[in-house]
Amino acid sequence: MLYPQLDTPCVLIDEAILEANIRGFQAYCDEHGLPVRPHIKTHKLPWVARKQLDAGAIGITCQKVGEAEVFAQAGFDDILISYNILGSAKLARLLQLAGQVKSLAVVADSEAVLQGLSAAFADSGRTLDVLVECDTGAGRCGVQSPQQATQLAALVAALPGLRLRGLMTYPAAHSEAVVQQWFSRAAALCDAQGLALEVFSSGGTPSMWHAHEAPIVNEYRIGTYVYQDRSQMAAGACKEADCALTVLTTVVSVPVPGRVIVDAGSKALTSDLLGQDGYGQVLRYPQARVTGLSEEHGVLDFSGCHQAPVVGERLQIIPNHACPVSNLFDEVHFCRDGEFLRTEQVQARGKVC
């Protein structure tokens, strides 16, 4: 039986694969002179972030003030929160955080967000670093043109309590040429106005091996690469053997031949499809398909397989998307070469604010 010490469903992290993933991308970035600022949203574990920094990362990226608080408490002192921070409660916590770490930066894509940040920091004696978020095609947040980026950069530079740090984008996959052109145009416009931009931050795992194709980028934020997952396999960022995170699950029923029910449902694998067919990839059964999930049941189709598992047997499933899986479990289990090593609490799990 796989990992008899552990009850299912649970999350396994293969430490050897994890380390290889961290080393591999850091080596690529070192070769291209590209600083890495890993996004901790994928693992939410200070222990893993420490490995990323030890390998050469320059700092970390968080998405939430609550995540940044956990990591600041764990000793991380260079943090970018790549999110528009709004509201008095979060702004008060942000100011407190600024007093705890050596370097704290946020992003902003509107005057409303900047006015809030400035009001919180203006009379505090502290200065907050701000990157202007740019929508280079992903269609989420961000100013819409290099001209708008320049206007907002000028406002950052003018507002008390804030310091202009640079530009940031969460790009569409495989849009390096667009990012290069967009950032270059904005840089020229800012330069013409005497606005200094130190950092051009981009990121994303799907295009990780193409990061060097936008040479203006001098900071790469990347999360999923530490664990990898099925959607990244489909994007060409990794192979199955690079997937460090699997959900260990038990077959609880085989009601008819070929229909295998496991105890990993959407509460373990999430309902994220990310363009995939089915909800995960079963290790050692390449023909098996995860056809349906309810909260506590996974429905697997083994009709295309030579043999099917029996009730009580354990399977490992690579999820479509590793990051939200980390958020569903209070703890994850590290292993190496098929042997259980130890359990870690997911310290930044559930930090919604």
Site residues, its own copies (CB under 8 A): 7-10, 41, 63-64, 83-84, 86-87, 89-90, 109-110, 112-113, 116, 135, 139-144, 250, 252-256, 259, 261, 263, 266-268, 270-273, 294-297, 299, 310-312, 323-324, 327-330, 350, 352-353
Q: How far is the CB of 81 from its own copies (least distance, A)?
A: 11
Distance between CA 273 and CA 271 in Å, rounded? 6
Quick one: CA dihedral 145, 146, 150, 155, positive or negative? positive
Q: Which is nearer to its own copies, 137 or 215 (CB)?
A: 137
Q: What is the largest CA-CA distance in the chain?
A: 71
Q: Which is nearer to its own copies, 166 or 265 (CB)?
A: 265
Q: Which is nearer to its own copies, 16 or 311 (CB)?
A: 311
Q: How far is the CB of 321 from its own copies (least distance, A)?
A: 9
Q: How far is the CB of 160 from its own copies (least distance, A)?
A: 20
Q: Which is nearer to its own copies, 55 or 113 (CB)?
A: 113
Q: What is the residue type of 286?
A: P
| Site of tokens 């295309």 | 304
Q: How far is the CB of 122 from its own copies (least distance, A)?
A: 18
Q: Which is nearer to its own copies, 55 or 64 (CB)?
A: 64
Distance between CA 55 and CA 26 in Å, rounded? 7
Q: Which is nearer to its own copies, 135 or 176 (CB)?
A: 135
Q: Which is nearer to its own copies, 19 or 296 (CB)?
A: 296
Q: How far is the CB of 51 from its own copies (least distance, A)?
A: 22
At residue 103, φ and ψ (nearest 5 deg) are: -140, 120
Q: Which is nearer to its own copies, 20 or 86 (CB)?
A: 86
Residues near 55 by beta carbon (within 8 Å), at least 6 away in sequence? 22, 23, 26
Q: How far is the CB of 241 from its own copies (least distance, A)?
A: 26
Q: How far is the CB of 90 from its own copies (least distance, A)?
A: 6
Q: How far is the CB of 7 from its own copies (least distance, A)?
A: 4
Q: How far is the CB of 317 from its own copies (least distance, A)?
A: 14
Q: Which is nearer to its own copies, 328 or 335 (CB)?
A: 328
In this structure, are residues 62 and 107 in contact, taking their beta carbons and an 8 Å threshold? no
